């Protein structure tokens, strides 16, 4: 009996010790695997967090067709059918499975400086909107939220890296994730992911924002990878706005333009409305993101009213204020739109464009548009 007690006691001490050893392993190891191969012992996370139009996703986690390494890779087929009416979809690798921050899990990955993965498209040209490391909220939120993208896949394997130097990755439940949209892949996309791992690379330096080359698009076309901001910041009477980012009604350039309908009904009682194009979506200055657009000397865009005479109070660049504020702002307005496409320019000379999360914005009010209006935008870009 005494022997049994001793054995039980030893086991009782041993299991937490093993668990702790695994937790700390990340701190000293050179790499920490998210996914290597189907059933690989080193896999630490599960691709369980399906998001958005999850009905549009099919996953084969043992695709044997040309894996990058080992015997299998993970194949994703995204149909872009908008099964849940979201227009986007994605998958998070979580620990434990389906953990949206409601339970303690994850790992302390302190010491790792980057996440690498390999990816390829079935045809090439498939677009992943963004890759995420961390970012799951909830009661037990990830300690970091890092994003990278968009990326356009090629039909051969290519390695991608997310720089994590200087990031607090002491708790990551959502180790890796991807999202994409129907706009970016109107015909859907089939792509493969393999060999996802954290690595300790002591030579890696913290990522600094690189100055983006010009022209730099806010919106080029519906499916363009050149689109860098998302029209997510709906303001004021947001219920009065209808947005169509793929209108084919006489686009200025390319096959689509933006069509915006404003009812002027003051649904939320604000008597005004507008949309901010943000990076990432819904970033009101709470996320350190955006772009260094220091090379820009102007923002140009084309606009037309459905009837002509529509009054936009303001077109604007920057000006989002939060913990991570835009470095400057510039605007024009009020602008009375013509019925024909007309190019407008916001002068950025002398402005500090080194940190921009709010790429473009318009706002209008009921007082000057009591019947509401419809207007169109196209080719919004920094130059």
Shorter beta-carbon distance to other proteins: residue 195 or 313: 313
Q: Judged by CB under 8 A, which of 351, 356, 357, 373 binds other proteins?
A: 351
Shorter beta-carbon distance to other proteins: residue 188 or 333: 333
316 binds other proteins (CB under 8 A): no
Shorter beta-carbon distance to other proteins: residue 94 or 283: 283
Between CA 90 and CA 295 the distance in angstroms is 33
Q: Judged by CB under 8 A, which of 322, 338, 340, 383 binds other proteins?
A: 322
336 binds other proteins (CB under 8 A): yes
Give the Cα-Cα-Cα angle 176, 181, 182 (nearest 5 degrees): 150
CB of 282 to other proteins, least distance (A): 12
**Residues 6+ positions from 333 with CB-CB distance below 8 Å:** 312, 313, 314, 315, 316
261, 265, 290, 293: which is closest to 358 by C-alpha?
Answer: 290
CB of 171 to other proteins, least distance (A): 18
**Cα 162 from chain centre:** 13
Shorter beta-carbon distance to other proteins: residue 256 or 329: 329
CB of 329 to other proteins, least distance (A): 8
Q: Judged by CB under 8 A, which of 18, 242, 334, 343 binds other proteins?
A: 334
Between CA 88 and CA 79 the distance in angstroms is 10
186 binds other proteins (CB under 8 A): no
Q: Judged by CB under 8 A, which of 83, 311, 342, 372 binds other proteins?
A: 311
Between CA 43 and CA 20 the distance in angstroms is 18
> Taking the alpha carbons of 65, 68, 70, 73 in that order, is the dihedral positive or negative?
negative
Q: Judged by CB under 8 A, which of 112, 144, 151, 320 binds other proteins?
A: 320
Between CA 241 and CA 129 the distance in angstroms is 25
The 3-class secondary structure across 99-164, one letter per residue, is CCCCCCCCECCCCCCEEEEEEEECCCCCEECEEEEECCCCCCCCCCEEEECCEECCCCCEEEEEEC
Q: Are 380 and 344 in contact (CB under 8 A)?
A: no
Backbone angles phi, psi at 251, to 5 degrees: -60, 150
Between CA 366 and CA 371 the distance in angstroms is 8
Q: Judged by CB under 8 A, which of 82, 211, 352, 372 binds other proteins?
A: 352
141 binds other proteins (CB under 8 A): no
CB of 285 to other proteins, least distance (A): 5
Q: Judged by CB under 8 A, which of 321, 338, 340, 371 binds other proteins?
A: 321
Q: Judged by CB under 8 A, which of 87, 254, 333, 372 binds other proteins?
A: 333
Taking the chain, what is the end-to-end CA distance rounded to the nearest angstrom? 81
CB of 11 to other proteins, least distance (A): 44
Q: What letter does residue 221 receive in the DSSP assignment?
A: -
Q: Judged by CB under 8 A, which of 5, 41, 323, 370 binds other proteins?
A: 323
Between CA 164 and CA 307 the distance in angstroms is 50
125, 193, 212, 203: which is closest to 163 by C-alpha?
Answer: 203
Shorter beta-carbon distance to other proteins: residue 244 or 292: 292
The stretch near other proteins (CB under 8 A) out of 69-77, 135-143, 201-209, 345-353 is 345-353
206 binds other proteins (CB under 8 A): no
Between CA 29 and CA 249 the distance in angstroms is 56
5 binds other proteins (CB under 8 A): no
For residue 265, give both structure tokens.
Answer: 């009904």
The stretch near other proteins (CB under 8 A) out of 210-218, 256-264, 299-307, 333-341 is 333-341
327 binds other proteins (CB under 8 A): yes
Site for other proteins in 247-306 (CB under 8 A): 284-286
Shorter beta-carbon distance to other proteins: residue 206 or 322: 322
Query: Which positions touch other proteins (CB under 8 A)?
Result: 284-286, 311, 320-328, 332-336, 349-352
């Amino acid at each position: 009996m005494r022997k049994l007690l001793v054995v039980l006691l030893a086991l009782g001490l041993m299991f937490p010790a093993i668990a702790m050893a695994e937790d700390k392993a990340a701190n000293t190891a050179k790499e920490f695997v998210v996914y290597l191969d189907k059933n690989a012992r080193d896999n630490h996370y599960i691709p369980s967090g399906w998001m958005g139009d999850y009905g549009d996703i099919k996953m084969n986690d043992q695709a044997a067709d040309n894996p990058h390494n080992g015997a299998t890779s993970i194949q994703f087929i995204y149909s872009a059918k908008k099964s849940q009416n979201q227009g986007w979809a994605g998958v998070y690798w979580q620990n434990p499975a389906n953990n949206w921050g409601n339970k303690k899990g994850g790992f302390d990955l302190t010491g790792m400086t980057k996440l690498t993965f390999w990816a390829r498209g079935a045809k090439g040209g498939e677009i992943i909107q963004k890759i995420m490391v961390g970012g799951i909220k909830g009661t037990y939120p990830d300690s970091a939220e890092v994003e990278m993208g968009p990326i356009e896949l090629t039909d051969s394997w290519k390695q991608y890296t997310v720089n994590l130097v200087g990031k607090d990755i002491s708790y990551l439940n959502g180790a890796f994730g991807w999202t994409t949209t129907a706009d970016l892949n109107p015909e859907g996309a089939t792509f493969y992911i393999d060999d996802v791992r954290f690595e300790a690379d002591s030579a890696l330096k913290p990522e600094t924002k690189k100055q983006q080359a010009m022209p730099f698009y806010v919106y080029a076309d519906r499916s363009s990878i050149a689109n860098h901001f998302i029209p997510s910041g709906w303001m004021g009477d947001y219920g009065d706005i209808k947005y169509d980012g793929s209108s084919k009604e006489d686009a200025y350039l390319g096959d689509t333009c933006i069509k915006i309908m404003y009812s002027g009904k003051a649904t939320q009682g604000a008597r005004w409305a507008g949309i901010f194009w943000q990076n990432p979506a819904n970033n009101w200055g709470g996320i350190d993101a955006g772009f260094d657009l220091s090379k820009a000397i102007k923002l140009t865009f084309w606009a037309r009213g459905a009837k002509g005479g529509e009054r936009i109070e303001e077109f604007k660049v920057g000006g989002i204020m939060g913990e991570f504020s835009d470095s400057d702002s510039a605007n024009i307005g009020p602008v009375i739109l013509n019925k024909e496409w007309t190019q407008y320019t916001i002068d950025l000379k002398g402005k500090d464009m080194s940190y921009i999360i709010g790429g473009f914005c318009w706002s209008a009010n009921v007082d000057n548009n009591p019947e509401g209006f419809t207007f169109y935008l196209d080719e919004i870009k920094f130059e």
